[in-house]
Amino acid sequence: MHLDVQDLRNFYYRSTLGRAVQKAVRAQVAEFWPEAQGQTVVGYGFAVPFLRPYLADARRVIGLMPAPQGVIGWPQGMPNISVLCEETFWPLETGHVDKLLVVHGLETSDQPGAVLEECWRVLGPGGSVLFIVPNRAGLWSRTDRTPFGFGRPYSQTQLESQLKTHNFLPERHATALYQPPSERPFWRKTAGMWERMGAKLSVVAAGGVLMVEATKRVQAPSGPGLRDKVRKPLSVLRPHPEAKPV
């Protein structure tokens, strides 16, 4: 079940907790993708809060928002780059995306496999996709006071297995949001400390969101026809007796 776009906007842009999420998750995204000079960057779901750092240098930035969720204009005060689209039919050419960020788009979908197929279709050669999903082991998936308490939370093994099934190759992973999902002043004042401590103690402390970067896996052609052709590739160099005239 998709969240309503107005609820997502209110959380990320009008609440103290949402702004803290932006800061923590955006910093971790920057660890994966420090720049996108001259590249096409696309976000799907509600990824726009984390796309702003790429507006200046990317060749093109697009925010895709699924129809069941709804769409808002973004970024504020600038030409709109957000687009309403069908979950399984994105208005993008095949193989033209360099960086694809999926936030609140996979765990809330009733068709996660079809969404992954569309991710695979639009991603270009050498491109990468970064999935950000609720961490099954974290505190944030256990409360419905934030968007990460909706949909299906994942473990790293579950997410990577699903990605491999749809021809993605997981490359790197990380977690974020070690601070408690609370608006109380104490937790807000100490949020930075919890993020720093959590990153160092990630083996024993579970972050609220799981992040997995993957690349597009293109399988080599296979089949008996190909094997027959390459079994003896140098046979064409062997001398053959001339055919006898009839």
CA distances, 83 to each of 11, 62, 73, 91 (Å): 20, 7, 8, 9
- Residue-wise pLDDT tens for the chain (246 aa)? 789 999 999 999 999 999 999 999 999 999 999 999 999 999 999 999 999 999 999 999 999 999 999 999 999 989 999 999 999 999 999 999 999 999 999 999 999 999 999 999 999 999 999 999 999 988 889 988 899 999 999 999 999 999 999 999 999 999 998 888 777 775 667 666 766 666 655 543 578 999 999 999 876 545 554 444 444 444 444 555 555 554
The pTM of the full predicted model, rounded to 2 decimals, is 0.84
Contact between 154 and 133 (Cβ < 8 Å): yes
Buried b (16+ CB within 10 A) or exposed e, 52-76: ebbeeebeebbbbbbeebbbbebbe
Contact between 192 and 219 (Cβ < 8 Å): no
The torsion angle over the Cα atoms of residues 122, 124, 130 and 136, rounded to 10 degrees, is 60
Task: Look at the block and give the residue holding tokens 């969101």.
Answer: 209
H-type helices in 146-222, by residue range? Answer: 156-165, 185-189, 191-200
